[in-house]
Structure 1
Amino acid sequence: MSPADREVPVRLGPLADADLDADQRAAVERITSGPRGALVGPFVPLLRSPALMDRLQLVGAYLRYESAPDDDLVELAILVVARHWDQQFEWGHHQPLALAAGVPPEVVHAVEADRRPEHGRPEHALVWDAVTQLLRLGVLRDDTYAALLAALGEQALVDLVVTVGYYTTLALTMNAAGTPSPPDAPRMRDL
């Protein structure tokens, strides 16, 4: 299936303020008063389940702003997930964040082309290996696990694995909901 075949119309777009119930209003207030500052992307469809949205956004806030791996490794993992699921919103939102966090443009281009990065620091290729194995095989090979553990330690390894699962959840939610990319965001090339 090509990326064009996966594009769906917006199915679960923004809700009108007048249509929000008390739980949804409270969830919107919590997310907009935190580091995210706005209800965008996956949180638009997730607002249909405000308790789930609250819990997910707390996990995501930890993973993005407090988790053990370096910021460039977290952002790189998110890009690999976005590429795997052909998720344009996730790519468009996180590609500039990855560059700002220190992921070299050559590494971003390799991920966009679904290739193992040959540039950047050694951890970039290791993260690509780990995320790709989790997404394609559902497991880390022993050698990848050992290398990741040696490079990052146990907490960062666990945080990285959960980052893959969390952003997969968001990618699939947005793919099913037809969440559009921000209009001015970079798009993955259809390869």
Structure 2
Amino acid sequence: MTGIAPLPDADWPAEITDMLPGFAGRLDVYRVMAHHPALLRAWADLRQHVVVDTSLGLEFSEVVILRTGHRHGSAYEWGHHVSRARKLGMSEDRIASIAGPLEAMAPADAVIAGAVDELLQASRVSAARRAAVEDLVGRKGLFDLMATVGFYTTLAFLANSTDLELDEGIRAELDERPAPKA
């Protein structure tokens, strides 16, 4: 067996039918998660906060997600969020820098990406980095950064462990305009 396939509409679990027209039906990562309906249902509120209502702001949120996806070697997360970052107007150079050394990034991005690195290396943000993040995005932003890393770490585990391919629309977009390498 190679991977776990996203559930098509015809096989969508009855207990989460109400979720199909929303976020859960739009991306294959959630169609894979639908194999466990209770998990997908529980995921919804955290997803709303982390993805939509974050206090990081959309661009810093993308920096967190891209760095997390890169560090986990998740081509799925990297590709999807390159697309999202482009739609936000982030430059190709900025996106590419997020996969590189902190010294090659814009200073604010390096603060954010450095916090991601610390979380993934030591399961904590150092006092100095914590202060720098709070100066940049506030205390709520610090908490949202940590929650976003945890959220996208779980999605990277899911995408990587199920051999999830890029969604068709993202694959077509990246075929036409390749993503910077992660």
State how 1:1-191 maps to structure 2 within 5 Å: 9=2, 11-28=3-20, 32-33=21-22, 36=23, 38-112=25-99, 114-116=100-102, 118-120=104-106, 122-182=107-167, 183-184=171-172, 185=174, 186-187=178-179, 189=181
Counterpart-to-counterpart distance in 2, 1:159 and 1:123: 16
Relative to the length of structure 1, the TM-score reads 0.81
Deviation of the 1:125 alpha carbon: 1.1
Unmatched runs of 5 consecutive residues or more in structure 2: none
Counterpart-to-counterpart distance in 1, 2:96 and 2:148: 21
Counterpart-to-counterpart distance in 2, 1:134 and 1:104: 26
8 Å Cα contact 1:73-1:124 kept in structure 2: yes
Counterpart of 1:19 in structure 2: which amino acid?
D
Relative to the length of structure 2, the TM-score reads 0.84
Larger fraction in helix: 2
Deviating beyond 4 angstroms after TM superposition, the runs of 4 or more aligned structure 1 residues are none
Counterpart-to-counterpart distance in 2, 1:173 and 1:158: 23
8 Å Cα contact 1:12-1:44 kept in structure 2: no
Deviation of the 1:119 alpha carbon: 4.3
8 Å Cα contact 2:67-2:98 kept in structure 1: yes
Secondary structure at the residue paired with 1:153? Answer: helix
Name the Cα RMSD after superposition.
2.2
Q: Percent identity?
A: 23
Counterpart of 2:5 in structure 1: which amino acid?
G
Deviation of the 1:188 alpha carbon: 5.8
Deviation of the 1:18 alpha carbon: 3.8
8 Å Cα contact 1:82-1:91 kept in structure 2: yes
* Number of aligned residue pairs: 175
